Structure 1
């Protein structure tokens, strides 16, 4: 036996779940993904999403509606006569007509321990907040943002040095296995649903470019969490004077370090330690705009940073 599944997803994170469901013997009757987006230096080329590309390799039909406002798109969805829809990082809020458009409803793979970190950026927000654990939850979707009842939970520890990129890769593998298990239980009519707790709700807002600049006037642990929570993308950065011109430098890896000084002060160059409001951080991997990521020692060979240098701080908005 197998389920007739409509799969809905867009980025890399979704691909392992699509492949795992196919390998588990389920029939993927259709794949929905975000439409091809402009790419290339001039933005003239249209690039299909990673899920779109993976689905084509599987020989599965792909649909890319902008939304489901048109009745024609809703009817097309229902016409697949699917048992269930599986949603992983699709990128659209689904209307009730789609949530109820399959026999068993829609099930979402979400990268947090709900109700903590509902929303768009749960992986980054968990690390930036200093959480020591997160997980993948399979939930039955309902109208609302990540509010549906929970079906299956798999916890994952967040190591002190783990970056958002590393956690992303770990969770996408855990999520694929969790969804296969959930669909097996659903097919056997053995998938209990538990309402989410009413307390502990936090929203993981999309990362704004304005919050990516490093503020060394914060405690060292907060700075470290900020760096690893934005690594490798979009990347936390500081400004450095290079040959009389300010340049942005991304920090892709850091660690807590001992030391005191003026916030933003370079305590020494080897290792590269920067003073914070409380303690210091060691910058281990850096990248200049247009350059490749380098270990701190290699970075300093091409871009010396003298001890005693004080890195500029972000402007405090609203202070007169």
Structure 2
């Protein structure tokens, strides 16, 4: 099948490799343009770009496609059966959506219509969903509104992290897109009920607000792992929290203000409801360490109230 693949981050790489291994004729791979990265701010290609080059595929990196008539013509000239899209990062205009004979199929990391938008994996963890999954949908002009071809779910627990769920859904998406192309399943309109949106994250989404319940902060730590990372300010540092858990053995913190470092084993912080035990942290420019190791040389004594 003549395919264009459109994706940028690590999530999309397994699908690209699966399509190539299955023998599909990948006419071009579209990715975000290389961006400055690292201390030297060198132009660095995205994960899909690197994977495509390793497979010997043509890579195209238009900075924008919405109103670029030449980009539309170049895309149409590929004479595609289908385009496969996975976290590409650019909005496709009607001219490109209509060009492939079977349309553009999107690998979306949620069980639509829940969590349309840019950060569905984070949102599922953050909001304590019991399950997540992947939906293969045919793209329309609306934001993740198109009809569904296939979907598969995976259960979530109170220990699930965005990092682990990301990898599981990336593998699931690669498997489902091969099925969608081979089986041509019937399309099903998305339900009108249950629509939710997962907006693009910023660094500010990782800030821990101790006035929130401990369960919500635990979910935020797991949802923001690895990016943008959960953190709190102290002594001029931004301490990153890599792992935590509700301190259910501590009981209620009583009259202690939210943000108070509580006495007892480990590093436990009073929250608006309950308390959160911080298990693994990282100071700027330092290696990650267990909370007990951090406490041996860092001022987080019981009774201290964090901002």
User: 1:289 aligned to 2:284?
Assistant: yes
SS of alignment partner, residue 72 of structure 1: helix
By how many angstroms is 1:212 displaced? 2.1
Work out whether 1:215 is the aligned partner of 2:205: no
Unaligned ranges ≥5, structure 1: 313-320
Quote the residue 1:194 is aligned against.
188
- CA drift at 1:42: 4.3
Partner of 1:103: 101
Q: Measure how far apart 1:269 and its partner are.
A: 5.8
Q: CA offset at residue 40 of structure 1?
A: 2.8
Q: Which runs of 4+ in 1 moved over 3 A?
A: none
2:264 and 2:202 mapped to 1: Cα distance? 31
Aligned: 1:262 with 2:257: yes
Superposition pairs of residues 1-320 of structure 1, within 5 angstroms: 3-43=1-41, 45-68=42-65, 69-186=67-184, 191-241=185-235, 246-258=236-248, 259=250, 260=253, 261-268=256-263, 270-312=265-307
Task: Tell me the CA shift for residue 25 of structure 1.
Answer: 1.9
Q: Is the 8 A contact 1:269 1:306 kept in 2?
A: no
- The alignment's C-alpha RMSD in Å is 1.3
Secondary structure (helix, strand or coil) at the match of 2:302 reads coil
Structure 2 unpaired stretches of 5+: none
Distance in 1, matches of 2:263 and 2:229, equals 23
CA contact 1:127–1:229 (8 Å) conserved in 2 = yes
1: CA distance between counterparts of 2:5 and 2:200? 23
Q: TM-score if structure 1 supplies the norm length?
A: 0.91
Q: Which moved more, 1:295-304 or 1:112-121?
A: 295-304
> Which secondary structure does the structure 2 equivalent of 1:302 belong to?
coil
Structure 1 residue 300 displacement after superposition: 2.1
